[in-house]
Amino acid sequence: MSKAEQIIATNKLHINELRERFKDEESVKTIDISVFYRAYEPDLKQTTINWRIYALAQMGILNRIGRGKFKTGEGKNYISELPNKLKTIYSKLKKEFPYLKICIWHTSAINEFMLHQAGSSYVLVEVEKEATQSVFYFLKAANYSVFIDATIDLLDKYLPTNKESIIVKSLVTEAPIQNIKGINTPSLEKILVDIFCDDVIFSAQQGAEMRTIFKEAFSKYTINESRMFRYADRRRKKESFKEYINSITNLRQHI
At the topology level, CATH places domain 3-72 in Arc Repressor Mutant, subunit A (1.10.10)
Query: What is the C-alpha to C-alpha distance for residues 158 and 151, in angstroms, rounded to an integer?
Result: 10
Q: How far, in Å, CA of 131 to CA of 30, rounded?
A: 42
> What pLDDT shows up at residue 145?
87
Q: H-helix or E-strand containing 123?
A: strand 122-127
- Looking at residue 158, its pLDDT comes to 63
Give me the amino acid identity at 238: K
Q: Which residues contact 205 (CB under 8 A, 6 or more apart)?
A: 110, 114, 118, 195, 213
Which parts of the chain have pLDDT scores under 70?
A: 1-10, 73-75, 119, 157-163, 249-255
Question: What pLDDT is attached to residue 251?
Answer: 67
Length of the chain: 255
pLDDT in tens, 79-121: 888 888 899 999 999 999 999 999 999 998 999 998 877 767 8
pLDDT at 2: 39
Residue 60 Rama label (left phi>0; alpha psi -120 to 50; beta)? left
Smallest CA-to-CA distance from 105 within 153, 171, 151 is with 171
- Give the integer Cα–Cα distance in Å for 58 and 49: 14
Residue spans per domain, the chain: 3-72, 84-247
Residues 6+ apart with CB under 8 A from 33: 18, 49, 52, 53, 62, 70
AA letter at 101: K
Read out DSSP for 76-114? --------HHHHHHHHHHHHHSTT--EEEEEGGGGGGG-
* Residue 172 amino acid letter: V
Three-state DSSP at 152 gives helix
Structure confidence at residue 43 (pLDDT) = 92
For strands 28-29 and 69-72, give the pairing.
antiparallel
